[in-house]
């Protein structure tokens, strides 16, 4: 069935070339080999792709076939090689060996423009839209329809632009107010506009990178309906996700990448969520997704906010009269769609953003005017949602980052003298506790994958036995091993009497961890759920509309 060498071959069928994908070098766990049938075609694929960066082998023989008119999910741990594969499929990187395949033919891509010319488009996690323009202006930016005037001047044909945008939106079941300014539009509508932009440019293959990461449950359903409509219209979708439940609900096919290799492929109808998880990471502990049992929290208040308000800075969300308590032995979840103030709230409590009114009380002491260091010394730990710019100094070493904040305390420093040996031992202990994967502790933090960077931050923040832990998007971009470890640490911290304020855009995560959930909408607390189990619809409604009606 397979060619003798890992090189693409072709079969003749009705005078059309068909690429046959060989078995990847480590494909023993696959349900079946990725081989094209004679009556179907590959819209986008890879044959035995290899890519190294120095001694690091990011892709080691990845083979993939995304069939035309299907939704194909790619899953894998952080550092598994997904990002490198996507860069090669887009032409951002060229493989060391192997082939990218587009429309059944091996191709050599010299850049994203060539991929776009071959109808391949990607929607990134960070949208490529100008916030001060309208949605219609963003739709046509760089490719404006024009009407020829006398002489060399031309004018943008806005009527034609609107017809094109409206027609494409209607064809996939999206409702877009094209005259709205982009900065005022909900995030899922921005995602729709990014997709429509690519459709307007002739793309019939879309790569979506973690598209639900910033969406509330109702918005996820809207996105899935749109993607199903796209599939029905013949568009091919490569769906990258960490969320196995979403993969099972949406995709037709799934491919698992582990340690730079393709290790599993199946139709969704022939596999299960646990089977996919078992191939993503072999030694992952079971991920507890059921909500905590109903429990009465009787501990003393550790954190109290009384009428907390903050002004908008650089277009950030303002906060308006927020009051809440987090008790010892409790995880309080903060639910909200991205951009509604949960990040700003965490920054105010941590001392990274000034407040305009109200008080912040930590263990009975008013810390509203105190520095971040003073708050830290009082027992406040902070896991920032922005690990690269706030959680880490990426150019510094891994060991420096993981002991930062406690490097002047014993046993790392005694009598004012830093012990390099003790520093390294403490750093190694903290890294091992959360299974951070790294080369040498002296390597820069930037050498770590995104998920391992986040685990490093968590290892540092949990090391000094804080009283209050503010965890803002603590598992964003973290793999199954890391998620399970972080969830376990949060539960253990709570069970030992710690207080946790958990801000997460993953509603499943909030419900699985939180004893109570409050919802923030446009900078205001709009509701509280004391028994989160079974209340997902109610919480999602408040996240999107500001009420539970």
Is pLDDT of 279 > 70?
yes
80 shares its domain with 115: yes
- Of 142, 171, 202, at which residue does a domain stop? 202
Q: Do both 175 and 306 map to the same domain? A: no
Q: What is the pLDDT of residues 46-103, one digit of tens each?
A: 999 999 888 778 899 999 999 999 999 999 876 788 888 998 999 988 999 999 999 9
Point out the domain boundary residue: 202, 232, 267: 202
Better pLDDT: 452 or 297: 452
| Statement to judge: residues 276 and 354 lie in one domain | no
Number of domains composing the chain: 3
What is the biggest distance separating any 2 CA atoms in the chain, rounded to whole angstroms?
82
Q: What is the pLDDT of residues 331-387, one digit of tens each?
A: 999 998 777 899 899 999 999 999 999 999 999 999 999 999 899 999 999 999 878
**524 assigned to some structural domain:** yes
Pick 205 or 149 by higher pLDDT.
Answer: 205
Task: Please report whether residue 403 resides in a domain.
Answer: no
Has residue 425 been placed in a domain? no
pLDDT category at 220 given cuts 50, 70, 90 is confident
Indicate if 372 and 513 belong to the same structural domain. yes
Same domain as 176, residue 319: no
| 498 Cβ neighbours under 8 A, 6+ residues apart | 302, 328, 329, 466, 467, 468, 469
- Phi, psi (rounded to 5 degrees) for 330: -140, 140
Question: Same structural domain for residues 135 and 272?
Answer: no
For residues 138 and 221, membership in a common domain is answered with no
In a domain, 435, yes or no: no
537: domain CATH number is 3.40.50.300
CB 86 within 8 A of CB 122: yes
Over residues 237-244, the mean pLDDT reads 88
Question: Is residue 413 one of the residues assigned to a domain?
Answer: no
Is the residue at 483 inside a domain? yes
Answer with the one of 179, 202, 225 that is the final residue of a domain: 202
Nearest to 346 by CA among 301, 298, 300, 386: 386
Residue 297, token pair as written in the block? 């929290």
**What is the CB neighbour count within 10 angstroms for residue 126?**
7
Domain that holds residue 372: 301-379+466-545
**209, 272: one domain:** yes
Within this chain, do residues 194 and 210 fall inside the same structural domain, yes or no? Answer: no
pLDDT of amino acid 340: 85
Rounded to the nearest angstrom, the gap between the alpha carbon of residue 405 and the centroid of all alpha carbons in its chain is 28
Q: What is the pLDDT of residues 119-167, one digit of tens each?
A: 999 988 777 889 889 999 999 998 888 886 655 677 889 999 999 999 9
Indicate whether 151 belongs to any domain. Answer: yes
Note whether 87 and 182 are same-domain residues: no
Mean pLDDT over the full length of the chain:
84
96 and 211 together in one domain:
yes
Q: Is there a domain that residue 427 lies in?
A: no
| Residues 57, 41 share a domain | yes
CA 325 and chain centroid, separation: 29
């Amino acid at each position: 069935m397979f060619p003798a060498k890992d090189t693409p071959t072709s079969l003749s069928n009705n005078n059309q070339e068909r690429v046959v994908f060989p078995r990847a070098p480590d494909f023993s766990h696959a349900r079946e080999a990725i081989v094209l049938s004679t009556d179907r075609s590959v819209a986008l694929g890879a044959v035995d792709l290899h890519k190294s960066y120095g001694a690091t082998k990011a892709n080691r023989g990845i083979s993939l076939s995304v069939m035309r008119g299907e939704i194909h999910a790619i899953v894998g741990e952080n550092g598994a090689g997904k990002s490198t594969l996507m860069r090669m499929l887009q032409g951002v990187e060229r493989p060391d060996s192997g082939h990218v395949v587009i429309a059944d033919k091996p191709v050599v891509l010299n850049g994203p423009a060539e991929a776009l010319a071959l109808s391949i488009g990607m929607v990134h996690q960070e949208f490529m839209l100008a916030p001060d323009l309208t949605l219609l202006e963003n739709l046509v930016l760089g490719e404006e329809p024009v009407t020829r005037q006398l002489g060399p001047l031309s004018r943008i044909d806005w009527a034609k632009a609107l017809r094109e945008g409206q027609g494409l939106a209607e064809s996939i079941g999206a409702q877009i107010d094209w005259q709205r300014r982009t900065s005022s539009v909900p995030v899922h509508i921005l995602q729709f506009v990014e997709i429509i932009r690519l459709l307007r440019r002739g793309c019939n293959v879309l790569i979506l990178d973690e598209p639900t990461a910033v969406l509330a449950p109702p918005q996820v359903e809207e996105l899935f309906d749109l993607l199903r409509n796209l599939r029905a219209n013949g568009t091919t979708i490569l769906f990258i996700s960490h969320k196995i439940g979403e993969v099972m609900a949406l995709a037709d096919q799934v491919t698992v990448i582990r340690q730079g290799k393709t290790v599993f492929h199946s139709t969704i109808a022939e596999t299960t969520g646990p089977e996919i998880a078992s191939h993503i990471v072999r030694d992952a502990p079971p991920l507890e997704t059921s909500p905590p049992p109903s429990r009465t929290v009787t501990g003393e208040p550790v954190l109290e906010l009384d009428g907390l308000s903050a002004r908008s800075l650089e277009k950030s969300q303002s906060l308006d009269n927020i009051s809440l308590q987090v008790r010892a032995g409790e995880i309080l979840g903060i639910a909200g769609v991205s951009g509604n103030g949960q990040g700003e709230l965490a920054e105010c409590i941590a001392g990274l953003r000034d407040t305009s009114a109200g008080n912040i009380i930590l263990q009975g002491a008013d810390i509203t005017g105190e520095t971040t260091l003073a708050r830290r010394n009082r027992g406040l730990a902070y896991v920032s949602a922005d690990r690269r710019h706030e959680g880490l100094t990426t150019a510094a070493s891994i060991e420096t980052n993981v002991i930062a904040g406690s490097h002047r305390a014993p046993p790392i420093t005694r009598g004012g003298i830093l012990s390099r040996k003790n520093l390294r031992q403490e750093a190694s202990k903290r890294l091992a506790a959360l299974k951070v994967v790294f080369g040498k502790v002296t390597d820069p933090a930037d050498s770590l994958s995104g998920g391992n960077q986040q685990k490093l931050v968590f290892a540092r923040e949990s090391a000094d036995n804080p009283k209050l832990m503010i965890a803002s998007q603590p598992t964003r971009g973290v793999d199954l091993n890391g998620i399970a470890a972080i969830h376990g640490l949060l539960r253990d911290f709570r069970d030992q009497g710690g207080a946790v304020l958990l801000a997460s855009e993953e509603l499943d995560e909030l419900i699985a961890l939180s004893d109570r959930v409050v919802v923030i909408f446009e900078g205001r607390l709009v509701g509280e759920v004391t028994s989160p189990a079974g209340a997902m619809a109610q919480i999602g409604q408040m996240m999107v509309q500001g009420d539970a009606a």
